[in-house]
Amino acid sequence: MAGEQSSRVRLAARPLAAFLVVSAIVFTLAQLHVFRPGVPKAAAGAAIELGDGYRGETIFGQTCAGCHGAGGAGGGIGPRLVDDPISLARVKAQIATGGGAMPPALVTGQKEKDVLAYVATLIAAPAGGASTTP
Amino acid sequence: MGDRDPSTGEAPVLANVSSTYTEIVTIVFSSTIAAKSWLATVAVVLAVLQVLTAARIYGRLKRFIPLPYRVVARTHRYSGRLALLFTLPVIFHCVFILGFQTTTTRTLVHSIAGSFVYGVFAAKVIFIRSRAYPGWVLPVAGGTLFATLSTLWLTSAYWYFTQVRFGF
């Protein structure tokens, strides 16, 4: 009787333990998310308002990638943005006023904030991030 | 180890993993989120196949799936393995790059379900490998796994396709 009960407990304990251990590992890794792309790289101490980088990535793909390349990796007529030492304030100004082959105000309002949030994860901020202030 | 990025305090190698992942994924897709949405969709389609073949294994849907047991069982096994493979790049991006997020109800539900999905999978593997459990346990575990995966898809890919953009 007692043996049967203990084997039942053991039967239930194994999958429960596997569930808890694996879930705990995934949860812990998600909390650490060690490969996060900076908070965002160029936005440390920034006064520029940033939107949703997720949406920004999509808007970037539709509006900006034609010139700056997919993921800002370059390849079009626009400069490569990945690891570009440009400041976020300069990016914001470039979006607003345009310049070169880039027309002004390609994205505005919330879309601009979203794109800035995404671009901030691509560019390399100058040391200290002071230039991110508008 | 190495020098840290003065603006973020992060080791450059950590940030580079994110950019490298983005560069690889955008060879095919327009963005990392589009890639994840499509990979998750393939995984969910395979999960539907899992449910259908599982039902056939348990003697249901004989009219709709008139295939021999061996073929159905093999399809069930391989579609499961394939579905798991398709979730790996997705979980890598979600867990290691994005992390557990609580900014909206959608992201909170997604993060919780995402934390559990591999736990449910691990428990299901134990149920598959042992004959000591009652017959109802495996279908319940499979159903729970399917429900968790569906929740993950609804709170990410479905949201993306309907609220942001439908495309590659």
B105-126 pLDDT, tens digit each:
888 999 999 999 999 999 999 9
Whether A58 contacts B34, CB under 8 Å: yes
- CB-nearest to A57 from B32, B91, B130 is B32
Could you say which DSSP state residue B14 is in?
H
Side chain identity at residue A47, one-letter code: A
Domain ranges for chain B, please list them.
Answer: 12-164
pLDDT in tens, B58-85: 888 888 888 888 999 999 999 999 999 9
A-chain residues near B99 (CB < 8 A): 30-33, 36
- Distance from C-alpha of A35 to C-alpha of B18, rounded to nearest angstrom: 6
- CB-nearest to B7 from A41, A82, A122 is A41
- Distance from C-alpha of B39 to C-alpha of B91, rounded to nearest angstrom: 10
The owner of tokens 């867990």 is B95
Query: What pLDDT, on a 0 to 100 scale, did the predictor assign at position A57?
Result: 87
- Distance from C-alpha of B35 to C-alpha of B41, rounded to nearest angstrom: 10
Q: What is the ipTM of this complex?
A: 0.84
Domain ranges for chain A, please list them.
Answer: 1-35, 41-132
Find residue A99's DSSP bridge partners.
A102
For A102, the 3-state DSSP assignment is strand
Give the gap in angstroms from C-alpha B63 to the nearest C-alpha of chain A: 34
B-chain residues near A15 (CB < 8 A): 122-123, 126-127, 141
Q: How confident is the model at residue A46 (pLDDT cuts 50, 70, 90)?
A: low
- Predicted TM-score (pTM) of the model is 0.69
Residues 103-162 of B with CB under 8 A from A: 111, 114-123, 125-127, 130, 132-133, 141
Chains A–B, number of C-beta pairs less than 8 Å apart: 131
Q: How confident is the model at residue A78 (pLDDT cuts 50, 70, 90)?
A: confident
- Distance from C-alpha of B163 to C-alpha of A86, rounded to nearest angstrom: 32
- Distance from C-alpha of A81 to C-alpha of A71, rounded to nearest angstrom: 8
**Which top CATH class is A41-132?**
mainly alpha
Q: What is the mean pLDDT of chain A?
A: 78
Residue numbers in chain B where pLDDT is lower than 70: 1-15
